[in-house]
């Protein structure tokens, strides 16, 4: 029987002596940068930082702690650049918006954050929630009150009235209220500035917009553009003034084109991307966050009668195969791709299922892993501290059994998780 040890938050580093190291014996290392697996290595960790990586298995000195992962493949903590930690979509999601309070969302988010971390994801970008839940959760995790990944939060999504990010879509008029820029609803350039500035005041790390319709919103179109050029330009410019970048949810081509031309940092989903958009993204350095897992998940659930509202079901049924084909074309065309799942649509903790879909769509295994490590770190502005197993980086370390370059689905079975020098999961084989 496997013995599972999960370290609780509040436990300090493995050793307390400033002169002592934690030595991680790695049977194989994927460092997040090199295209080659490095066998029989030792990762030296002092405090929360990698101090050295040495060939062979280093002999410990007095006070050193040894973690034996000689039978494992060791790699940097993974990064998911598109999650929603406050919920998981289910057949009752439309109803839950009327029965859950801020505290409910906060408690759920804490649970989902722990699941995400234990799945090997030590950094996430949360692209949209209500009540500033993930901003508060970010603080709690950073202060070691609760366990979870490092969170970069966009706070409340920005949307036009009736757009994909308008949470009142499908509601009766008597309960919709008057949504404004403070609530993330943008109609005009003045609203655009106000909405971005409010997110800055709230403490957001990113700005998230819904440049087109969406699959799961209770609205007919999942593709139509939902911001004017002037609104988009104002959002991006204002965000830049405040040191923020913009992520654009987009399925349809016209909305994507407007968003890329305005200067967004990433296109999320990009389902109906064509060659014109691909070329523009390469020219502008715009990243593609494919979220194949979400597309696959909703396509499967669309087969179940009553799971989705009537307006949602046909959109969900269509998106899965299209998303795979778009990914293949974008990868072959050279569009920069970074790992992201839209988890919260699918179940938290299943994030790594995205790897198999990326490989199925044509990306080699090592590139898929790098898209969730060094490439993700560079994209998120964390390259100096995260994304690879190299000297001076934060000690975010995970391990799996076997070789993921031979079987990418092994990425779904992480048995060791260290974040910042602290062990949060260890399954003894």
CATH number of the domain residue 232 falls in = 3.20.20.140
Interacting residues of 159 by C-beta distance below 8 A, sequence separation 6+: 165, 166, 184, 185, 186, 209, 210, 226
The verdict on 84 and 68 lying in the same domain is no
- Cα maximum dimension of the chain: 71
The verdict on 181 and 99 lying in the same domain is yes
d(CA 348, CA 88): 7
Give me the chain's average pLDDT, please: 91
**pLDDT tens digits along 22-76:** 999 999 999 999 999 999 999 999 999 999 999 999 999 989 999 999 999 999 9
d(CA 141, CA 424): 13
What's the pLDDT score for residue 5? 41
Residue 15 has pLDDT above 60, yes or no: no
CATH number (domain holding residue 58): 2.30.40.10
The verdict on 240 and 164 lying in the same domain is yes
The verdict on 330 and 351 lying in the same domain is yes
The verdict on 30 and 13 lying in the same domain is yes
Q: What is the span of the domain harbouring residue 163? A: 78-380
User: Helices 292-301 and 353-360 meet at what angle, rounded to 10?
Assistant: 100
CB-CB contact of 88 with 348 (8 Å) = yes
The verdict on 403 and 290 lying in the same domain is no
Chain-centroid distance, C-alpha 131: 20
Q: Which two tokens stand for residue 253?
A: 């081509």
What's the pLDDT score for residue 10? 40
What's the pLDDT score for residue 11? 41
The verdict on 396 and 376 lying in the same domain is no
Residue 4 has pLDDT above 70, yes or no: no
d(CA 206, CA 83): 13
Q: How do 65-76 and 22-29 pair as beta strands?
A: parallel
> What residues pair up with 343 in beta bridges, in sequence order?
83
pLDDT band at 12 (very low <50, low <70, confident <90, very high): very low
Residue 2 has pLDDT above 50, yes or no: no
What's the pLDDT score for residue 58? 95
Q: Report the side by side order of strands in the sheet with 287-289.
A: 207-210, 246-250, 266-269, 287-289
**pLDDT tens digits along 206-230:** 999 999 987 766 566 667 888 999 9
d(CA 2, CA 427): 7
d(CA 45, CA 420): 10
**pLDDT tens digits along 70-99:** 999 999 999 999 999 999 987 676 667 777
Higher pLDDT, 325 or 309: 325
Q: Which two tokens stand for residue 395?
A: 């000690």
The verdict on 55 and 170 lying in the same domain is no
pLDDT band at 182 (very low <50, low <70, confident <90, very high): confident
Q: Mean pLDDT throughout 354-374?
A: 98
pTM summary value: 0.93
**pLDDT tens digits along 98-138:** 778 899 999 999 999 999 999 999 999 999 998 999 999 99
CB-CB contact of 255 with 212 (8 Å) = yes
Q: How do 65-76 and 78-83 pair as beta strands?
A: unpaired
How many independent structural domains does the chain possess?
2
The verdict on 88 and 158 lying in the same domain is yes
The verdict on 73 and 84 lying in the same domain is no
Q: How do 414-419 and 397-401 pair as beta strands?
A: antiparallel
**pLDDT tens digits along 143-179:** 999 999 999 999 999 998 877 776 766 656 656 667 7
**pLDDT tens digits along 368-410:** 999 999 999 999 999 999 999 999 999 999 999 999 999 999 9
What's the pLDDT score for residue 163? 74
The verdict on 343 and 396 lying in the same domain is no
The verdict on 217 and 330 lying in the same domain is yes
């Amino acid at each position: 029987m496997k013995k599972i040890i999960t370290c609780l938050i509040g436990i300090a580093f493995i050793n307390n002596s400033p002169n002592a190291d934690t030595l991680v014996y790695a049977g194989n290392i994927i460092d997040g940068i090199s295209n080659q697996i490095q066998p029989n290595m030792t990762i030296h960790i002092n405090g929360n930082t990698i101090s050295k990586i040495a060939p062979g298995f280093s002999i410990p000195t007095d006070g050193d702690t040894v973690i034996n992962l000689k039978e494992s493949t060791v790699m940097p903590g993974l990064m998911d650049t598109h999650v929603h930690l406050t919920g998981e979509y289910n057949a009752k999601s439309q109803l839950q918006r009327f029965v859950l309070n801020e505290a409910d969302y906060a408690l759920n988010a804490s649970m989902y954050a722990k699941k995400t971390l234990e799945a090997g994801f030590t950094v996430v970008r949360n692209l949209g929630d209500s009540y500033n839940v993930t901003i508060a959760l970010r603080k709690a995790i950073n202060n070691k009150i609760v366990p979870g990944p490092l969170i970069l939060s966009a706070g409340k999504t920005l949307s036009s009235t009736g757009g994909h990010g308008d949470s009142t879509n499908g509601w009766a008029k008597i309960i919709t209220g008057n949504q404004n820029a403070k609530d993330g609803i943008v109609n005009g350039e003045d609203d655009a500035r106000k909405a971005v500035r409010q997110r800055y005041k709230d403490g957001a790390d990113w700005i998230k917009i819904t440049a087109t319709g969406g699959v799961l919103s209770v609205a007919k179109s999942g593709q139509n553009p939902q911001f004017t050029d002037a609104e988009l330009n104002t959002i991006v410019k204002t965000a830049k003034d405040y040191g923020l970048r913009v992520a654009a949810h987009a399925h349809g081509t016209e909305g994507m084109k407007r968003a890329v031309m305005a200067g967004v940092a990433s296109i999320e989903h990009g389902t109906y991307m064509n060659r014109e958009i691909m070329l523009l993204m390469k020219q502008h350095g715009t990243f593609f966050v494919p979220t194949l897992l979400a597309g696959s998940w909703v396509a499967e659930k669309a087969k179940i009668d009553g799971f989705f509202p009537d307006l949602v079901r046909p959109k969900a049924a269509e998106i899965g195969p299209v998303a795979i084909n778009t990914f293949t074309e974008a990868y072959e065309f050279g569009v920069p791709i970074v790992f992201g799942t839209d988890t919260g649509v699918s179940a938290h903790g299943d994030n790594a299922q995205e790897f198999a879909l990326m490989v199925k769509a044509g990306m080699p295994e090592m590139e898929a892993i790098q898209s969730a490590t060094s490439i993700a770190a560079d994209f998120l502005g964390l390259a100096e501290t995260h994304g690879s197993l190299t000297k001076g980086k934060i000690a975010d370390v995970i391990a799996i059994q076997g070789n993921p370059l031979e079987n990418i689905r092994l990425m779904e079975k992480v048995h060791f998780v260290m974040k910042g020098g602290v062990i949060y999961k260890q399954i003894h084989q």
